[in-house]
Amino acid sequence: MSYIMVDVEADGPIPGDYSMVCFGAIVVAPSLDRTFYGQLKPISDEWIPEALEVSGFTREQTLQFDDPKAVMQQFAGWIAEVGGRCPMFISDNNGFDWQYVNWYFHHFLGNNPFGHSSTNLGSLYKGVVRDMFTSFKHLRKTKHTHNPVGDARGNAEALLQIKEEYGLKISFK
């Protein structure tokens, strides 16, 4: 099983009504050298300026981004190359990130290469340290800047550190 850390930037709180602006993914492995980045043209006329501002892009810039179906096809192909037999989606906030990736895969391609499951890094860490009031974010090496590949990298670094520091039984390929 390959763990693929994903981070999403969007222009609103839910897919369909709003759009996934860009996303990044990285295979969780010591090398952290297999990444994917996609920028997607909006699918809706609705957008929240404050939400879009987080991504660092303007609405005008996003209107020049790539066709969402093509990006999701490329992402599915990348997952097939790097994900092995059973790729596992993991993210810092899978309540947000998963909803967008899952919706876009089903909407544009009819299926999700990750299947029906995802893992939340924050919840995993809370369980490992047995403390529901703690955060893993101090384990990131790469600064969190809302660049989705960089943010996915920082989260992958944290997962690798959780394995090393706390003896998490997990296999990275």
Which residues are catalytic, by number? 146
Which is nearest to 68 in space by CA: 116, 118, 4, 11? 11
- The token pair at 36 is 């994917």
Which is nearest to 7 in space by CA: 159, 165, 164, 161? 159
> Which one-letter DSSP state was computed for residue 40?
B
Q: What does the alpha-carbon distance between residue 103 and residue 137 come to, in Å, rounded to a whole number? A: 27
- In this structure, which long-range contacts are made by residues 165-171, counting pairs with CB atoms below 8 Å and at least 24 apart in sequence? 165/139, 166/128, 166/129, 168/124, 168/128, 170/3, 171/1
